[in-house]
Amino acid sequence: MKMTLSEIAQAVGAIIPEQQLSKYQQTIITNVAIDSRHAQPGSLFVPLSGQQDGHDFVANAKTTGAVATFWQTGHPNRPTDLLVVDVDDPLAAMQGLAKYYLMKVNPKVIAVTGSNGKTTTKDMIAAILSTQNRTAKTQGNHNNGIGVPLTILDMATNTEVLVVELGMDHPGQLTFLSKMVEPDVAVITMIGEAHIEFFGTRDKIADAKMEITNGMKEDGKLVINGDEPLLTSRAEKLQPLTFGAQNHNYLYKTSMKLGAEYSGFTVNRWPDLNFRIPMMGEFNIMNALAALTVGRIFHVVPDKMVTALTEFQPTENRNQWVKSDSGAMILSDVYNSNPTAVHKILQSFAKVAGTGHHIAVLGDMLELGEKSAELHAGLASDLLPEQIDEVYLYGPEMKALYAVLQESYTPEQLHYYSESEQPQLIKDLQNNLHYRDLILLKASNGMHFNLVLKGLM
């Protein structure tokens, strides 16, 4: 971004002191920071309130380069050594500034949501569209009311296409985010059980995901998984473009070849082309189909889409193979977890050829509410001793799965650890892994399996 501080103040409805007007007009803001440690020359610091009050860190932000700050009206100790934009609510002001900047740059916006696969799909779409357009995208999974405006404000002034990920865990959140970004294309990857604690049923989750269309432009296009009746029934009036495994879809796979580190497939629209993605699993082929559908909307040359998918780099810890200290190969998928995602990755992991043991290390899936025990126990259908040799379970919710698996696994094959025993889990894995083994790490982010991964590296 690049705006004068006076333009920013005007965009958020702030009043500039007359005697300082020239300073605000001459001060150029090139980025926005919400963490004082990440401020740099040209930063506008936005003090957010959470476990700590961001106003307490304005002085730190100035030290690292910030030239101005938002400040909540009436908050004590207003700075005198830094240019200040007084606002009623710093977060709301940042969101309003993001909407203003988005309208100013005016890129085409592709918004992506879904219970699973939205980050990978976002990355694939950006890879495809960047072959023909100046493209910006959500970094990591900055997909909420803070991350989305930061994504917008981080894009270059010459951006032609913005691919933005939208997340939600309560009704109404996607409506708010959709109206902020006003997508030209909205994509829903699938409906699973993520956040079912807050919604109760998959039907209500589908209702919430459809909120992504509430801010969609009048001539916008909706792309959905056409194999999901909960979506097709709700989206019928919007005439969506569908993707999936079944041949009634607008875009569907006609063949596939699955490997440990890649997946190959063909599709109906370009029967002579062989697509390949550097990720395992049919579920990732579905993500690629969603991305290809968006590519077709933007008239990307098919050969360029083949190259883009072959070379795209997935966000870290999404179905990522890494080598442990022992030489064993680890399939790291430790950012997030829900029942649909675990079932799918277990099915794919079991099919990976290897001469050592297949070992599944699973941590709790969070935010499942009253159905948590049932949904954890249900994972047993994809944990069979003839396919997965050993299972390590971690966390209180995994007790339900542990009880079921005791019927099919021996004590030597099945291991359980309470939430206080993560160091012991890491130690046991370090001692028991061999260089030919294949290990799956999968848990919700709150279970801190990034520490387990680090312990094995």
Domain containing residue 17: 3-96
Residues 205-242 have pLDDT tens digits of 899 999 999 999 999 999 999 999 999 999 999 999 99
In the DSSP assignment, the letter for residue 53 is: B
Residue where a domain terminates, one of 96, 131, 155: 96
Q: Is residue 341 part of a domain?
A: yes
Q: Is residue 101 part of a domain?
A: no
The CATH number that applies at residue 174 is 3.40.1190.10
Which residues of the chain carry a pLDDT beneath 50?
Answer: none
Are 301 and 374 in a shared domain?
no
Residue 332 marked ligand-binding = no
String of b and e for 409-423 (b: at least 16 CB within 10 Å)?
A: beeebbbbbeeeebe
pLDDT score at 342: 92
Strand partners, 161: 108, 135
Q: Are 362 and 331 in contact (CB under 8 A)?
A: no
pLDDT score at 435: 87
Are 224 and 115 in a shared domain?
yes
Backbone angles phi and psi of 24, in degrees to 5: -65, -35
Q: Is residue 399 part of a domain?
A: yes
Residue 355 marked ligand-binding = no
Q: Is residue 159 part of a domain?
A: yes
Are 131 and 187 in a shared domain?
yes
pLDDT score at 340: 87
Residue 118 marked ligand-binding = yes
Residue 324 marked ligand-binding = no
Q: Is residue 34 part of a domain?
A: yes
The CATH number that applies at residue 433 is 3.90.190.20
Are 286 and 343 in a shared domain?
no
Total domains, the chain: 3
Containing 3, the helix (H) or strand (E) segment is: strand 3-4
pLDDT score at 325: 83
pLDDT score at 201: 84
Residue 140 marked ligand-binding = no
pLDDT score at 319: 72
Q: What is the DSSP string of 197-256?
A: HHHSSHHHHHHHHGGGGTT--TT-EEEEETT-HHHHHHHGGG--EEEESSTTSSEEEEEE
The alpha carbon of 408 is separated from its chain's Cα centroid by a whole number of angstroms, namely: 35
Q: What is the DSSP string of 93-126?
A: HHHHHHHHHHHHH--EEEEEE-SSSHHHHHHHHH
Alpha-carbon separation of residue 292 from 116, 125, 128, 289, 302 (angstroms) = 17, 7, 8, 5, 9
Residue 268 marked ligand-binding = no
Count of residues making up the chain? 457
Torsion of CA 288, 293, 294, 299, to 10 degrees: 120
The CATH number that applies at residue 83 is 3.40.1390.10
pLDDT score at 196: 63
Q: Is residue 145 part of a domain?
A: yes
Residue where a domain terminates, one of 96, 130, 155: 96
Are 237 and 330 in a shared domain?
no
Residues 152-179 have pLDDT tens digits of 999 999 999 999 999 988 889 999 999 9
> Please, how many CA atoms are within 13 Å of residue 447, restricted to the half-sphere of its CB?
32
Residue 284 marked ligand-binding = no
